[in-house]
Amino acid sequence: MTSSRIATLRWDGRCLQLIDQRVLPMQERYVACARADDVVAAIRDMVVRGAPAIGCAAAYGVALEAIHLARVAPAQLHAELESALERLASSRPTAVNLAWALQRMRERWTALSGHEPKAIAHGLLDEAHAIVEEDIAANRRMGALGAALIADGAQILTHCNAGALATAGHGTALGVIRSAIEAGKTLRVFADETRPFLQGARLTAWELSQDGIDVTLIADVAAGHLISRGEVNVVIVGADRIVANGDTANKIGTYTLAVLARRHGIPFYVAAPVSTIDPALPSGDRIPIEERTPDEVTGFREHRWAPTGVAVRNPAFDVTPAELISAIVTERGVVAPVNELGIRRLLGG
Ligand code: MRU
């Protein structure tokens, strides 16, 4: 029942195929990427989104470019691949999994130095496949560890989409939910719609109902009401970047939920792979927060509802301070309490 049939990304032997997350759930169509710049556009335009999925897609972007260059311009491989890595790195700023995946690709490329361009391309494609496989395995381990924190009968609130669609498969926050159900627990999930891009309404509600999981969609502004009435007893979300002291960037609106959870004494959990941790930044105020187009706030697709020319702010993420997070669930273990020491221990430092 909980084995998701969704393929967020798949390699078809020539191209990277990405499920088009801009048009779900109305349409299920795939976008083919043949070059690094196709992947840059797909990340920037939200065809693929969610921190781990962005990292996986970027890894394939590097491999695709190397395959292309090995065929048509082997002499330029070094300079062109370097430039493709830079364009991929700047496609979105907040999720650190992007930089993490590109660093892994760069290390593999370095290890292949001196090889023929074709061998470099093959090696980079193998690395992209490995990143995908490892992401799914990490989500499964995280799911098993996180499931132990979820009581049978829990009523869970989640925000944005931290599911199979945001990863290579199974999901992080939704992976914990899937694993808890696989372990025999009965759960009810409330999905925040997640204005302005509606990842909760369009993606989480669809993904969970595809798997037959009990999901109820709510407007973001209804969360406080439900929590205050005791209808939600745990909040679980994903993350885009967790820094050295445990401060965590995630989809805009996450911080509000953490404050509500603290006010009402319910646990607030973050589920994320170790690749989401950025120990180089000391605290959350240093995390680059993406500001997206005003069009996402003044309307949706062709529909407009705000006055033309109105001033708009559209920060896509916010930062939840470590002190409001009850635990961070990773594939290596659970960090609780969430603080610098806990993060350092998890990373083996
Ligand atoms: O703007 P998005 O849709 O890429 O934002 C995604 C999120 O904020 C997710 O919660 C986060 O990336 C975790 S995904 C496992």
pLDDT attached to residue 252: 98
| Pocket test residue of 237, 250, 257, 328 for ligand 1, highest count of atoms within 8 A of CB | 250
Q: In the sheet that 248-251 helps form, which strands lie side by side, from edge to edge?
A: 277-278, 241-243, 248-251, 317-320
Binding site membership of 95 for ligand 1 (Cβ less than 6 Å): yes
pLDDT attached to residue 4: 61
HSE of 337, CA atoms in CB hemisphere, 13 A: 8
Counting as low any pLDDT under 50, the low residues of the chain are 1-2
Binding site membership of 160 for ligand 1 (Cβ less than 6 Å): yes
Report the C-alpha gap between 171 and 234 in whole angstroms.
18
Binding site membership of 174 for ligand 1 (Cβ less than 6 Å): no
pLDDT attached to residue 1: 39
pLDDT attached to residue 177: 98
The alpha-carbon radius of gyration of the chain (Å, integer) is: 20
- The closest residue, in CA terms, to atom 5 on ligand 1 is 50
Catalytic residue among 38, 192, 220, 240: 240
pLDDT attached to residue 88: 98
**Inter-axis angle of helices 173-182 and 117-147, nearest 10:** 60
Q: What are phi and psi of 190, to 5 degrees?
A: -100, 130
What is each CA distance from 80 to 22, 68, 123, 195, in whole angstroms?
30, 10, 17, 38
Q: What is the pTM of this model?
A: 0.97
**Inter-axis angle of helices 97-111 and 117-147, nearest 10:** 140
Binding site membership of 163 for ligand 1 (Cβ less than 6 Å): no
Identify the CA nearest to 314 among candidates 259, 228, 253, 249: 253
Report the C-alpha gap between 161 and 299 in whole angstroms.
20
